[in-house]
A = this chain, B = another copy of it.
């Protein structure tokens, strides 16, 4: 139903996004979108670039009086440091980036032509689109939550849902375990001193999803495949699991299924090992 395209370079005039198929009659809460953009920029240890960005969304179309009218949403996020035409060329390709493959694909001598688009900056447009989409999902009581589960080898401990929500509110790292967060921050400080960076793991939980959104009809209609593609398509992500994922690869079938229980109120499950998706 929804489709979108984004455009924009890291040091260009700004980022553009068009979202087609968004329904009419929905209040578009710009402050929520801006809060999501802020959350993307915050986070202990983020690079200096983040600090000069203070992204605010401008919605150029698709709304009237703050309410969606059914026509495509045109979204613009200005860059504070528009200087792409002045920046010097880059000639040394960095490993772990699109630099080399991009230069080979598009025939660039100046790798800046690659890295300006193949940049984490692009995800700001996707965050804005995601925030708009969350406004729609809320109408169906579908909630999206996310937190950090590990950083540089430090994994969080178990927390109850209440603890998690409480802790996330004051966390600098979107980490639900304060003890783990303390160690992560120390690790970040050390890594920054060394001029290095860190890998990590985050979890996304979506609640309130009705059954039957995906389909086993074709390989490309399965919801698990779409989610994997969306996540793997974020720069720097190298693995996607649904539920316990690779852990389940070491177990027998009887230990990874979620028994279906019939109650008076309908079906329910006591476990969620499938990550909420069975059969795609």
Contacts and interface: CB of A to CB of B under 8 A. Distances in A.
Interface of A: 3-9, 12-18, 20-21, 23-25, 58, 60-62, 64-65, 69-74, 76, 84-85, 93-102, 104-108, 112-114, 116-118, 122, 126, 150, 152-153, 191, 194, 196-201, 211-212, 215-222, 224-235, 237-246, 248-254, 256-260, 267, 269, 274-275, 278-280
A72 B229 CA distance: 20
Given A71-B217, A239-B241, 16 more contacts: A9-B64, A13-B58, A64-B113, A70-B108, A70-B113, A95-B278, A96-B258, A98-B279, A98-B280, A197-B253, A227-B232, A229-B232, A233-B280, A235-B280, A238-B248, A239-B246
Nearest to A274: B96
Contacts of A25: 106-107
Contacts of A201: 246, 249
Contacts of A108: 24, 69-70
A250 B74 CA distance: 38
9 contacts: A8-B60, A95-B258, A96-B253, A100-B260, A106-B212, A118-B280, A198-B252, A219-B234, A238-B242
Given A224-B232, A278-B96, A118 B216 contact: yes
Nearest to A199: B249
Contact of A100 (B122, B150, B211): B211
